Amino acid sequence: MSEGDRIRIDKWLWQARFAKSRALAVDLVTAGRVRVNGQKLEKPGRAVGPGDVLTLVLGAEVRVLRILACGTRRGPAPEAVTLYALIDAAGE
């Protein structure tokens, strides 16, 4: 895989605007609030890429999403939402 296919989870969370800073993204991971493909993460250096499924606990809300792209920068919100697709965990 090329370097553009994978990215550190803390950097991806920051670029996708789930955390306001890289430090807060690291805190999310080390607090056990992030799962990748069903496995709880403990290290913010874990590489993720397109196709990985993330489960995020953000306050009282749980979000399940699939990574579509790694991104190259932390751009505006309309750009950030192109990095993932929300998955309806409840099945409605």
Among left, alpha and beta (phi > 0; psi -120 to 50; other), residue 51 is left
**Does residue 91 fall inside a structural domain?**
no
Segment 52-69 mean pLDDT: 94
The predicted model scores a pTM of: 0.89
DSSP string, 53-83: EEEEEETTEEEEEEE----SS---HHHHGGG
What is the domain-level CATH number for residue 19? 3.10.290.10
How many domains does the chain fold into? 1
- Judge whether residue 4 has pLDDT over 90: no
**Does residue 50 fall inside a structural domain?**
yes
Segment 39-43 mean pLDDT: 92
Give 68's strand partners: none
What pLDDT score does 19 carry?
95
**Does residue 1 fall inside a structural domain?**
no
Residue range of the domain that includes 43: 7-86
**Does residue 47 fall inside a structural domain?**
yes
**Does residue 24 fall inside a structural domain?**
yes
